[in-house]
Amino acid sequence: MTEKDIEDSLSELAKVISNKRQVELLMTSDKTDLAHICALIGQAAGFELNPRSLKEATLEEICKKSDLHYRKIFLPQNWWEKDHGPLIGYYQNKPVALLYEKNRYLIVSPTLKQKLAVNAQTGAKIHPDAYMLYPPLPENMGTFRALLHVFFYNKLPDYFFLAIAGALATCVSFFFPLSNKILFDTVIPLFDLTLLGQILLGLIIATAASSMFLLARSFIGLRLNAKISHHLQLSIWDRILKLPVNFFRKMARGDLIQRTLIFDTIRRTLGQQTLIALFDGLFVSLYLIVMFIFSWRLTLVGLGIVTVASLFFLVIASFKVRWDKALLQSNAKINAFLISMITGIDKLRTAGAENQVFARWAKYYSENQRITLKSQFFEAMAKTANQSLSLLSSLLIFAIVIWMRFEDPTVMTIGEYLAFIAAYVPFSLAIFEVLNSGISLISLIPFWQRVQPLLKTPLETTKEKQPSGPISGKITIQNLHFRYSENAPFIFKELNLEIDAGALIAIVGPSGSGKSTLCRLLVGFEIPEKGSIQFDDRDSKELIPNELRQQISFVMQQRAIFAGTLYENILCDGHYSYEEVETALRLTTFDRDIKQFPAGLQTILPSGGGLLSGGERQKLLLSRALIRQPKILILDEGMNSLQSTTQAEIIKAVKSLKMTRILATHQLNILTAVDQIFLFEKDNIVAKGTFDELIKTNRNFSQLIEAQSVTK
């Protein structure tokens, strides 16, 4: 049984699970309908589509042109009873917008004369597969204001209900201090059992109501926190994936991982507990009114205690911020070291350097723990103060009341004192909780500074860039200057190069002559300091990089093989037929190797492709590159692990393809098949021509041939 037979069999089995026709929403025949549906979703969610996307026929292309992401979801039974946000659905085999308005879902479409409410009858006609659209983060995300945009974007109703629940819970709790005054000043002295029963009933009702409001507030807070987390995580990863490739070269992997995870720390700190504490601080200020009614003198004392406590917490926060900043830097250093150690463990064991590595780790770790203890010391001080200040302040107020009663026994009744305390205790607890949250917010300063490179680095794709459109494969390099940093020597100076569409060329030269750098420049992984790289006479700086790269296949020296099957590694989440896979395998001769594997294309590979030989890994990468049928194919030492006969066979197959092919190589024995050879030395091209021309006229080229022990 072939792989295609297996794939067809699995498709038949899938049909048993779903008795409905599988709807391909990503491909629809009516461009206008789907584009208008997406525009309606954007209007409801608060973002706009790029006008260029209105001409596209697929959801994938619409989202790509508008810089959006989409996710396929499954609609459960009675899904319309809850708010899931704006959705793209399929009603009677046509795309529609599913919008939540006035506590119900509506079906909206340009083809429908009116909005339809979703109920059991109409819901049965909606396909269970739907799609959600996600807008990106603002481009100016480096400001704290932009971060607040993420926390408030399309969430104002949740904040409104959170505020209402908090305000109601606070207002209901006013009954407790008032009941204390009535109980001790009226009920007990007069032994009024009727009034006592009324107060007890009121206390029960107030307690139940307050508990319900607090429970509702907690649920709203959880929902709000989940929505923020969902939006923030997707948007942050969207931004990271859009950063220039050369950005990642400047940062160790462990450091980058830590900076990425910091966003979740910020989200949790600014999440449910901090929001609720801040709302408490806003609404418990209403307790001041009650406190002033019973004793303005004690109220001033309470405010004085809160002011002193605020200054104390501010001092603690300033010390903690300093140590938190040092702790983040130490954690980044340890993470970077551990990842490099784990990835290079085989080399460490080969060199017998385990003891040296352990010694360095111990040095980093001891420094990290010293800083951690300092940070935890100030955190413990803040928590201890938070737990004890409320009690100490109550004792201080009690002492002041005793002193006041010694001076004037009529200054305050027992009921008034207990009523004041009943108002002051929740007031002080909430204020101290707000102060504790304030320390957490101040502690975010070093975290926020840590993620600034991720937020302020300009993205590859901006609104000013134009779509690349289909390219022919013609490349023109004019007056190009490039170096990796300002203090580094130039890799290229005044480089000029022209490659015709469909040409097969080779770039050769000694190590360090810039072959790999030129390949990275061609795909936009590096940016020239001066000059231009043009595709069909259009400067690449003005084109959208992703659209351009989709027409270029680049096989790098690093073997990017992920964990999964051979089949998944070749497709790379692309949509290709089995015949296209077979063609790519045949071009690279990888089909012969796969026949030797018991599981064939379903062979499971670990990350890095450790089960394959060096040659098999390169064949896999070549197959992945060729299946895309690119306009430009770039191989950076893409066949150096293959035997000479296999190299010649693949070159012969590649030569028959209609695309521009660029080979950066040290393997000079395949150069006889190319149309033109460019010889690089130092910072420019020193010679160009065919193999026969260069072997006769250029001594440096002849020396390279001799060094490789290759004859014509």
- Please report the pLDDT score of residue 459 as a whole number: 82
More confident residue, 349 or 500: 500
Regarding whether 447 and 596 lie in a shared domain, the answer is no
Q: What is the percent of the chain where pLDDT is above 90?
A: 13
Give domain status of residue 464, yes or no.
no
User: Are the C-beta atoms of residues 301 and 489 closer than 8 Å to each other?
Assistant: no
Quick one: CA torsion of 672, 676, 681, 682, rounded to 10 degrees?
-150
Give 24's pLDDT tier (boundaries 50, 70, 90): very low
Spatial separation of the C-alpha atoms in residues 266 and 278, rounded to whole Å: 16
Answer whether residue 133 shows pLDDT above 60. yes
Is residue 610 exposed (0-12), middle (13-18) or buried (19+ Cβ within 10 Å)?
A: exposed
Give 141's pLDDT tier (boundaries 50, 70, 90): low
Beta partners for 492?
482
Single out the residue of 554, 547, 542 nearest to residue 518, CA to CA: 554
pTM above 0.75, yes or no: no
Give domain status of residue 496, yes or no.
no
Give 533's pLDDT tier (boundaries 50, 70, 90): very high
Residues 435-458: tens digit of each pLDDT = 777 777 777 888 888 888 888 888
Answer whether residue 712 shows pLDDT above 50. no
Spatial separation of the C-alpha atoms in residues 241 and 236, rounded to whole Å: 9
Regarding whether 569 and 450 lie in a shared domain, the answer is no
Regarding whether 425 and 317 lie in a shared domain, the answer is yes
More confident residue, 628 or 709: 628
Residues 543-587: tens digit of each pLDDT = 888 889 989 999 887 667 888 888 988 888 778 888 899 999 999
Spatial separation of the C-alpha atoms in residues 77 and 120, rounded to whole Å: 10
Give 708's pLDDT tier (boundaries 50, 70, 90): low
CATH of the domain at 689: 3.40.50.300
Spatial separation of the C-alpha atoms in residues 466 and 539, rounded to whole Å: 10
- Please report the pLDDT score of residue 518 as a whole number: 92
User: If you search the block for the tokens 């063609």, which residue do you land on?
Assistant: 583
- Please report the pLDDT score of residue 195 as a whole number: 82
Regarding whether 125 and 149 lie in a shared domain, the answer is no
The span from the first CA to the last CA of the chain, in angstroms, equals 45
- Please report the pLDDT score of residue 328 as a whole number: 84
Give domain status of residue 241, yes or no.
yes
CATH of the domain at 32: 3.90.70.10
- Give the highest mean pLDDT range of 177-191, 478-492, 599-613, 661-675: 478-492
Spatial separation of the C-alpha atoms in residues 22 and 82, rounded to whole Å: 25
Regarding whether 692 and 658 lie in a shared domain, the answer is yes
- Give the highest mean pLDDT range of 245-259, 305-319, 465-479, 555-569: 465-479
Q: Tokens representing 254?
A: 């462990």
CATH of the domain at 194: 1.20.1560.10
Domain that holds residue 57: 20-134
Single out the residue of 679, 631, 677, 674 nearest to residue 650, CA to CA: 674
User: Are the C-beta atoms of residues 553 and 632 closer than 8 Å to each other?
Assistant: yes
More confident residue, 282 or 206: 206
Residue 572 to residues 564, 568, 621: CA-CA distances in angstroms?
Answer: 10, 6, 11
- Please report the pLDDT score of residue 374 as a whole number: 87
| Segment (H or E) for 290 | helix 287-294
Regarding whether 579 and 554 lie in a shared domain, the answer is yes
Residue 400 to residues 268, 302, 306, 391, 410: CA-CA distances in angstroms?
Answer: 41, 11, 16, 14, 14
Give domain status of residue 11, yes or no.
no
Q: Average pLDDT over the chain, rounded to whole?
A: 81
Residues 29-53: tens digit of each pLDDT = 444 578 888 888 888 877 778 777 7
User: If you search the block for the tokens 């394959």, which residue do you land on?
Assistant: 612
Give domain status of residue 10, yes or no.
no
- Domain boundary (134, 164, 186) is at 134
More confident residue, 441 or 331: 331
Regarding whether 356 and 400 lie in a shared domain, the answer is yes
Spatial separation of the C-alpha atoms in residues 405 and 400, rounded to whole Å: 9
Lowest mean pLDDT among 4-18, 276-290, 546-560: 4-18
- Domain boundary (441, 456, 471) is at 456
The residue type of 140 is N
Regarding whether 107 and 224 lie in a shared domain, the answer is no
Spatial separation of the C-alpha atoms in residues 355 and 353, rounded to whole Å: 6
Is residue 604 exposed (0-12), middle (13-18) or buried (19+ Cβ within 10 Å)?
A: exposed
Answer whether residue 26 shows pLDDT above 60. no
- Give the highest mean pLDDT range of 25-29, 111-115, 119-123, 464-468: 119-123
Answer whether residue 150 shows pLDDT above 80. no
- Please report the pLDDT score of residue 387 as a whole number: 75
Spatial separation of the C-alpha atoms in residues 424 and 397, rounded to whole Å: 10
Spatial separation of the C-alpha atoms in residues 169 and 582, rounded to whole Å: 67
Beta strand segments in 576-690, E: 604-605, 632-636, 660-664, 676-681, 684-689
Q: What is the percent of the chain where pLDDT is above 70?
A: 90
Answer whether residue 661 shows pLDDT above 90. yes
User: Are the C-beta atoms of residues 661 and 553 closer than 8 Å to each other?
Assistant: no
- Domain boundary (423, 440, 456) is at 456
Regarding whether 427 and 369 lie in a shared domain, the answer is yes
Regarding whether 125 and 212 lie in a shared domain, the answer is no
Answer whether residue 10 shows pLDDT above 70. no
Residue 536 to residues 122, 531, 664: CA-CA distances in angstroms?
Answer: 52, 16, 22
Q: Tokens representing 18?
A: 């779903």
Give 536's pLDDT tier (boundaries 50, 70, 90): very high
Residues 355-411: tens digit of each pLDDT = 888 888 888 889 889 988 988 888 888 888 777 777 788 788 888 888 887 777 777
User: Are the C-beta atoms of residues 533 and 497 closer than 8 Å to each other?
Assistant: no
Regarding whether 615 and 674 lie in a shared domain, the answer is yes
Beta strand segments in 468-612, E: 475-482, 492-499, 504-508, 530-535, 538-539, 552-555, 564-565, 604-605
More confident residue, 388 or 522: 522
- Please report the pLDDT score of residue 2 as a whole number: 54
Q: Tokens representing 133?
A: 């659209």
- Give the highest mean pLDDT range of 174-178, 227-231, 303-307: 303-307
User: Are the C-beta atoms of residues 665 and 705 closer than 8 Å to each other?
Assistant: no
- Give the highest mean pLDDT range of 24-28, 94-98, 329-333: 94-98
Give 154's pLDDT tier (boundaries 50, 70, 90): low
What does 318-371 look like in DSSP terms, one character per residue? HHHHHHHHHHHHHHHHHHHHHHHHHHTHHHHHHHT-HHHHHHHHHHHHHHHHHH
What sign has the CA pseudo-torsion 6, 7, 8, 12? positive
Spatial separation of the C-alpha atoms in residues 234 and 316, rounded to whole Å: 34
Domains contained in the chain, number:
3
Give domain status of residue 702, yes or no.
yes
Give domain status of residue 298, yes or no.
yes
What sign has the CA pseudo-torsion 137, 140, 143, 148? negative
User: If you search the block for the tokens 């205690």, which residue do you land on?
Assistant: 305
Give domain status of residue 531, yes or no.
no
Answer whether residue 606 shows pLDDT above 90. no
- Please report the pLDDT score of residue 633 as a whole number: 94
Regarding whether 332 and 216 lie in a shared domain, the answer is yes
More confident residue, 146 or 412: 412
More confident residue, 593 or 160: 593
State the chain's maximal CA–CA distance in angstroms.
122
